[in-house]
Each structure stands twice: as C-alpha cells, then as structure tokens.
Amino acid sequence: MNHRRDFRACYLSQKWMTPEEVEVRCTAVSHRTEAMVPGAIAVTASLEDYRERFRSFGTWGDWIADVSRGLRQGDYTPRYHIFVIDEPLVGRATAQIAESALAAGKPVLFADTAWPEERGFAQVTGVTCVDPDSWIGAWQVVFKEPAAPPRI
C-alpha cells in the first residue's frame, strides 16, 4: 500500500486494537488523505512502529520524540509528516505523541470513524487529560471542525 514512500503518515492507533482493526483503519486513513496529497501516502500505525523500533531507544520519551520529530536514517527526511487520530479519547502514549508533534509544528489530524470519508479531517489543537489516574482513554482530543480537507 506504500505507493508514495516520500510522504509518510503515522496513524496513532490504540493499544486495545487488534492487528486486523489497525490494518482496516490504516487503509481508511490512506483513502481519506487522497484529497490532501496527490497519490497515496505511506501509512504506518504507531503500534507497528512501537513493536519494530521501541527497543532501540531504551526510554519511552526517546521513542515518542523520534516518532513525533525524528528523521529517517539515510535521507534525513521526517520519519512522519502528519499524524492521524480517529478516536476522541486516547491513551497517554497517543496524547504524548500528538502533543510532541504539535509542539514541533507538524499537522495532527482527527477523523472520527463514524464520519463519512468526504468530510475529511479536523485539525487537532491539543489533548486534555480527563482522568489523571488512567493511562488508557484518559485524554480528550481537542480539534477544530473541518471546513474543507487541508492541503499538504
């Protein structure tokens, strides 16, 4: 599914999702992004990135920093250009990746799975902790309603 390897999106998947569900949602993200960028975008789930690369970082913070702001070895292009969330409540890792990406000036987009595909994305402006005692589903995604699909 990686037709355009020069533009990469990170789908911020949730830990509770099955691999099949993650694959379905990555495909949906790919379809939804077609209005933004000519050609397909290579979409990688954060769970996949975690499984493949976390051990090489040693700390949670170092991995999150690399996912959100890191460069790829070899061509020194951004590891991910955009980040996509499709759940209104997310866990701590997703919240931290989104906050770090926003702080770095990278687009973080939201599209509820119930929205029709043509509705596009909303721009995430932040995440708010609603339950400090929980690590799963305790951060509310804050976003602006979409007016039109953003061009990237």
Write out pLDDT tens, residues 50-59.
999 999 998 9
pLDDT at 148: 52
pLDDT classification of 99: cutoffs 50, 70, 90: very high
pLDDT at 124: 95
Task: Decide if 151 is inside a domain.
Answer: no
- Tally of domains in the chain: 1
Dist. CA 77–CA 73, nearest whole Å:
8
Looking at residue 78, the DSSP 8-state letter turns out to be B
Regarding predicted confidence, which is higher, 109 or 7? 109
pLDDT at 146: 63
pLDDT at 151: 54
Task: Decide if 83 is inside a domain.
Answer: yes
Task: Decide if 3 is inside a domain.
Answer: no
Percent of the chain whose pLDDT exceeds 70: 89
Task: Decide if 107 is inside a domain.
Answer: yes
Host domain of residue 100: 8-144
The helix (run of H) or strand (run of E) holding residue 98 is: helix 92-103
Q: Which of 35, 67, 42, 44 is nearest to 152 (CA)?
A: 35
Task: Decide if 2 is inside a domain.
Answer: no
Task: Decide if 1 is inside a domain.
Answer: no
Interhelix angle 60-69/92-103, rounded to 10 degrees, is 50
Task: Decide if 67 is inside a domain.
Answer: yes
